Amino acid sequence: MTATRITVGGDSPYDVVVGGGVLGELPTLLRPGVRTVAVICPRTLPQVSEPVCAALSAAGYQVAELPVPDGEQAKTVEVAAELWSALGRHGVTRSDAVVGVGGGATTDLAGFVAATWLRGVQVVLVPTTLLAMVDAAVGGKNGIDTPEGKNLVGTFLPPAGVLCELSTLAGLPKADYVAGLAEIIKGGFIADPEILALVEADPEAATRPDGPHTRELIERKVRVKADVVGADLREAGLREILNYGHTLAHAIEREEHYGIRHGEAVAIGMVYAAELSRLSGRADLVERTRAILTAVGLPVSYRADAWPRLREHMRLDKKNRGAKQRFVVLDGLARPGRLEGPAEELLEAAYKEISA
């Protein structure tokens, strides 16, 4: 399968390589001068970490494999500190590199550790889930969680490259794969309506890694994100549109103690954002949002009694400026806008529309 290279622009441009059987491309993404490569990967993914380490060793690099817990459990300052110590023991210098292999939590962690070790070493990311391929691994935002919220401690460090080996998707549980579709569908609403048309044409096929449009959906969503982050790495303006649906989603994740899949929370958050758009006199895309998410098996509602706690969680959202709450909404299909300082009555009314 021929590899597709999608370039993310900006001050430090890099390529996202998409395809099957492309692990051999990994050494080409590392910049010259690297001797030691630290591979950060969940202990549960030896089937991916072993060929990654083998490809790097075959290319002549000294490889240090650093296993970490799976999922959000890895995104803590304690795990980061253990990795910093390991980098020191393995003699990783500023001219060396980190490779992060795994889902979005692992790529977030690997990027954060690389950005903070010696004030920044290069990192290449090998996402193994749909969510990580189309969102977490692309864009240069890295972070860890605190008890107060998700990704509240973080950095901006564009990777040296991202390698999306599509064969890793075949082993994903269906629920995890479907959760990743939420970020793809989000890309359709904020920027590329053709994504929505492809999913709506055959929702069942969209839920399969071997679906006829899987690769196109992935590449289209990567291009959406590449266009945005290439123009606004540090979320000074345009990049905020990628947070469509995320204000409530992050609150739900915290309410669930991160026991809910990120994509499932984003799906609910998108319905909430669509309701905010409608109730504030902007675009009315609620029914289409509900229909497409329901068709692929994603949730569209949340518990009615959770609103007071969710509202408190939302006050720590990264988009807020002082006491002013900010939401990404839609002025039309593929026309994202911002809703600043909405009335409490509006926020509550929108939640009532999605509460179960």
**Catalytic residue at 352?**
no
Kindly state the tokens that stand for 52: 């990654």
Q: What is the pLDDT of residues 334-353, one digit of tens each?
A: 999 999 999 999 999 999 99
| Class of the domain covering 174-354 | mainly alpha
pLDDT value at position 236?
65
Cβ pair 43, 69 in contact under 8 A: yes
Asked whether the beta carbons of 113 and 80 are under 8 A apart, the reply is yes
Enumerate the known binding-site residues.
70-75, 104-108, 128-129, 141, 150, 183, 246, 262
**Catalytic one of 186, 220, 246, 313:** 246
pLDDT digits (tens, 9 = 90+) for 197-242: 999 999 999 999 999 999 999 999 999 999 998 887 777 678 899 9
Domain with CATH 3.40.50.1970 in the chain: 4-170
Which of these is catalytic: 262, 278, 290, 313?
262
Determine contact, residues 112/104, Cβ cutoff 8 Å. no
Asked whether 218 and 20 are in contact (CB, 8 A), the reply is no
Say which of 220, 221, 223, 250 is annotated catalytic: 250
Residue type, 128: T
CATH 1.20.1090.10 residue window(s) in the chain: 174-354
CATH architecture of structural domain 4-170: 3-Layer(aba) Sandwich (3.40)
Does the annotation count 313 as an active-site position? no
Instruction: Specify whether 320 is catalytic.
Output: no
- The pLDDT tens digits along the chain (356 residues) read 689 999 999 888 999 999 999 999 999 999 999 999 999 999 998 898 999 999 999 999 999 999 999 988 999 999 999 999 999 999 999 999 999 999 999 999 999 999 999 999 999 999 999 999 999 899 888 999 888 877 889 999 999 999 999 999 998 999 999 999 999 999 999 999 999 999 999 999 999 999 999 999 999 999 999 999 888 777 767 889 999 999 999 999 999 988 999 999 999 999 999 999 999 999 999 999 999 999 999 999 999 999 999 999 998 765 555 567 889 999 999 999 999 999 999 999 999 999 96
The predicted structure's pLDDT at residue 343:
95
Give yes or no for a contact between 328 and 244, defined as CB atoms under 8 angstroms apart. Answer: yes
